[in-house]
Structure 1
Amino acid sequence: MFQAIPVNEDRIVAFKAIGKLNNADFDEFTTTLEDLIEKNGKLSLLIELEDFHGWEPSALWADFKFTTGHDDDFDRIAIIGEKRWEQWMTSLGNAFTVTEIRYFKREELQLAWDWLREGLKSTDESEKQTATSRLRPYAHILVATDFSPHADIAVERAREIAEQNDAKITILHAVENFIFYGDLYDPVGSVQQQDTDRMVFDAAQKKMASLAETLNFSNLTTEVLWGTPKATILSYAAAQQVDLIVTGSHGRSGVSRLLGSTTNGILHGASCDVLSVRID
């Protein structure tokens, strides 16, 4: 499936591709892209491949026809992945389109965003922003939650900092998809498992709504997204140009892994400031 990644810029759009894509997935994706092109004109596109298992043949052919048929509608396309065959497919795509397509490893996520953002601002503006960015108060704070009492402490700390800086807060929760794939890339798991995943996602949305109501903070955004915690947090932070990530030093074990070991990955992977709230 495709999942939209919220982005600040009008001329950059981003999506996460998860699992194995079928023709219905691609029809929905291309319809969304065509609507965005009609609204905004020429775009740059970022696609993150997470637990990606390729295309069904009909979807692969549709992908090829769409890309070659929209050369004039894309400025740059960045593909984020972690497998050699994904890089090979990107190189193959470059042979059939004039749109510049680049492949980036997952740890190069910020480089991908920087590459897409080139040209949106003049060099002088970029240099001025770099020189003054350290002097500015925090404007957008991202806090990760697994809805545990430990995570609630990190949320409260994020609120304190937001009030001091007149900043926006985004609270994010990632829901992992537990559908597995066999050797031939077919999903291994029943329809009941897919229904269970959807129930978990819906329950997380309800918990998030309750948390937002309890927090009662005016400049607040909430996001419940599919994906692994570390990758989802870093992806959202880069797309939204977050300048501070707040997370707890540990959380619950088991299915929910937003905190704890994930915090170490965020500390090493984020391009912005990270505050790890120690929770004893």
Structure 2
Amino acid sequence: MIQILEFTKNNIIATRAEDNLTETDIQKIHPLIHNIVNRGQNVRWYFEMENFSGWNIKGLWEDIKMDLSHAENYEKIAMVGEKKWQDWITQFMKPFTNAEIRYFDLEEKNEAKEWISL
């Protein structure tokens, strides 16, 4: 499940992912990306993961398609998580986007919010 956080504003998308993400979850984000891109801005995404176990197959495919189609539209991505494999995902994403990507532990979420806002 994905939740849009109140921190979402201007060109920042702030989300919290829990359990498994589905195709429907990813489709909630796409219009937010388009709104930012249509205003001529680049996307900054704060992606918090708590009790997150990954994607189902359709969710993963939808996420890959969305990320590849908007690879040049991302400026910064803050991955905030609680597990080492989530840091690995951050490293894996880097070659597929021009965005600056950083991983933060959950205890560092305020630092992540500050970094994504700068």
- Name the TM tier (shorter chain): 0.7 to 0.9
Root-mean-square deviation (Å): 1.8
Q: What letter is aligned with 1:48? A: E
Q: How does 1:26-45 map to 2 (within 5 A)?
A: 26-39=26-39, 41-45=41-45
Query: Which residue of 2 is the match for residue 129 of structure 1?
Result: none
Kindly state the Cα deviation for residue 8 of structure 1 after the two structures are TM-superposed.
Answer: 7.0
Output one character per residue of 1:105-140: Cα deviation in whole Å (capped at 9) or x when no partner. Answer: 01111221221122xxxxxxxxxxxxxxxxxxxxxx
Query: Which residue of 2 is the match for residue 13 of structure 1?
Result: 13
Does the 8 Å contact 1:11/1:40 carry over to 2? no
Larger radius of gyration: 1
Query: Which residue of 2 is the match for residue 157 of structure 1?
Result: none
Output one character per residue of 1:81-119: Cα deviation in whole Å (capped at 9) or x when no partner. Answer: 00111111111011222211111101111221221122x
Query: Which residue of 2 is the match for residue 22 of structure 1?
Result: 22
Q: What letter is aligned with 1:68? A: L
Q: How does 1:108-187 map to 2 (within 5 A)?
A: 108-118=108-118
Higher relative contact order (CA 8 A, sep 6+): 2
Over the matched positions of the two proteins, sequence identity in percent amounts to 31
TM-score, scaled to structure 1? 0.39
Aligned with 2:19: secondary structure?
Answer: strand
Aligned pair count reads: 118
Aligned with 2:110: secondary structure?
Answer: helix
1:105 is the counterpart of 2:105: yes
Query: Which residue of 1 is the match for residue 58 of structure 2?
Result: 58
Sort the Cα spacing of 1:8 and 1:2 in 2 relative to 1 into closer, same or farther, 3 A. Answer: closer
Q: Which has the higher strand share?
A: 2
Aligned with 2:98: secondary structure?
Answer: coil
The 2-side partners of 1:51 and 1:101 are apart by 21
Sort the Cα spacing of 1:23 and 1:8 in 2 relative to 1 into closer, same or farther, 3 A. Answer: closer
Sort the Cα spacing of 1:8 and 1:57 in 2 relative to 1 into closer, same or farther, 3 A. Answer: closer
Sort the Cα spacing of 1:31 and 1:11 in 2 relative to 1 into closer, same or farther, 3 A. Answer: closer
Does the 8 Å contact 1:10/1:40 carry over to 2? no
Aligned with 1:95: secondary structure?
Answer: helix
Aligned with 2:75: secondary structure?
Answer: strand
Q: What letter is aligned with 1:43? A: V
TM-score, scaled to structure 2? 0.86
Q: What letter is aligned with 1:42? A: N
